[in-house]
Amino acid sequence: MSQNGPPTIVSIAEHAGVSIASVSRVLNGMSARPATVQKVEQAVAELGYVPNAVARSLKGGRTRQLTFAMEDIGNPVYVAMVRGIQAVTRAAGYRLLLHSTDAVVDDELAVIRSLSDRTSDGLILCPIRVTDAYAQALSTAAAPVVIIGSVPESVPVDSVRTDSVRGVALAVRHLYDTGRRRIAFVNGPLDTVPGRNRATGYRTALAGLGLPYDEALVVNTEFSTEAGATAAEQLLGAGPDALFCANDVLAVGAVRTLHSRGLRIPGDIAVAGMDDSSFAQAAWPPLTSVDLGSTERGRTAAEMLLARLGTGPAPRAPQHTTAIPRLVVRASTAPATDLEKPRSV
């Protein structure tokens, strides 16, 4: 028999010498005679048949696939989220598809709109910029979406947030309590949600401690290791005795610069980060960092999404939960009173 185009259940039935109904039963895992199962499986192997997930979803309503879209799949924060998400989705019988957006809003919008193609049953999204077009796309999404992050209250999607303002306050207060008074801040872009919230947290924390806000002690840059290294170089001229970095990626870059300048951490300058990622634990010295519960946020987001996909009743109104930050203290911020008098930087 000649085969034109990809194999179908019709061509499999002809090749195996069985009915189309029998092929359908075998392919869908339903009961069939052992001899029939053997014939169908042999035909599938010989013809190279691959089930079409889209066709299945059109017929049965589900692909058993979910998507997680994030800024940078190489960032250990997102790796931790994947672990939390996958622990939940795998147990529920779903595959998890990963998509790295590089924080390009148009790419994230395309991911949301692609839900109408029915290649995925739902989406977990971790955006750092939210525009009006973004809010509109979320409001009209063809399948359930859960946001790890903050979106306007008017957007009807579930979300798992974190209290960055409180987290920054924990770190700045800790640096103050260890004797530091010139606490510099390496932040990400102010047009991002985390950058904006962490800037607010820094100003609020300084005011609460009676410390002045000094523009010379602040650098707003990109969330990258190279940007952190460059920012630390820039800030050293202002004479800080501590650096607080808006995430661990920035902190690792800052530490690299300090080491290259021959500065002792924390003897000459203390360093703290945010996210408590594997970067913080692997740095030398190990970095004090604010734990924002990345794994738990992923797990919670997955549970919210599955609730929307479940056969039972789901909450009618959007659900929002906030992860409470905690400070993990390590060697990079030992109290100044426990060390030799810092050298001038």
The answer to whether residue 252 scores a pLDDT higher than 90 is: yes
The answer to whether residue 96 scores a pLDDT higher than 70 is: yes
Q: How many CA atoms lie within 13 A of 106 on its CB side?
A: 0
The answer to whether residue 121 scores a pLDDT higher than 90 is: yes
Give the percent of the chain with pLDDT over 90. 61
**What pLDDT shows up at residue 46?**
84
* CA atoms 277, 251, 270, 203: torsion sign: negative
**What pLDDT shows up at residue 52?**
59
The residues spanned by each domain of the chain are: 9-51, 63-161+293-322, 164-291+328-338
**What pLDDT shows up at residue 238?**
96
Task: Kindly indicate whether the domain formed by 9-51 is annotated with CATH number 1.10.260.40.
Answer: yes
Task: Kindly indicate whether the domain formed by 164-291+328-338 is annotated with CATH number 3.40.50.2300.
Answer: yes
User: In terms of residues, how long is the chain?
Assistant: 345
Give dist(CA 181, CA 30) in Å, integer.
Answer: 70
The answer to whether residue 292 scores a pLDDT higher than 90 is: yes
The answer to whether residue 344 scores a pLDDT higher than 50 is: no
Mean pLDDT over the full length of the chain:
88
The answer to whether residue 340 scores a pLDDT higher than 70 is: no
- Edge-to-edge strands of the sheet including 320-323? 95-100, 65-70, 123-125, 145-148, 158-162, 320-323
For the entire predicted model, the pTM comes to 0.77
Matching fold, domains 63-161+293-322 and 164-291+328-338: yes
170-200 per-position pLDDT tens digit: 999 999 999 999 999 999 999 999 999 999 9
**What pLDDT shows up at residue 288?**
98
- Reference 72, options 97, 96, 103, 41; nearest CA is 103
Confidence band for 28, pLDDT divided at 50, 70 and 90: low
Q: What's the mean pLDDT in 236-246?
A: 97
Q: Picking from 22-31, 125-134, 153-162, which range would have the lowest pLDDT averaged per residue?
A: 22-31
The answer to whether residue 234 scores a pLDDT higher than 60 is: yes
The answer to whether residue 59 scores a pLDDT higher than 80 is: no
The answer to whether residue 24 scores a pLDDT higher than 80 is: no
Pairing of strands 65-70, 95-100: parallel
Give the percent of the chain with pLDDT over 70. 90
């005011």: which residue's tokens? 207
Q: What's the mean pLDDT in 50-74?
A: 72
Confidence band for 57, pLDDT divided at 50, 70 and 90: very low
The answer to whether residue 3 scores a pLDDT higher than 60 is: no
The answer to whether residue 26 scores a pLDDT higher than 80 is: no
Assigned fold of 63-161+293-322: Rossmann fold (3.40.50)
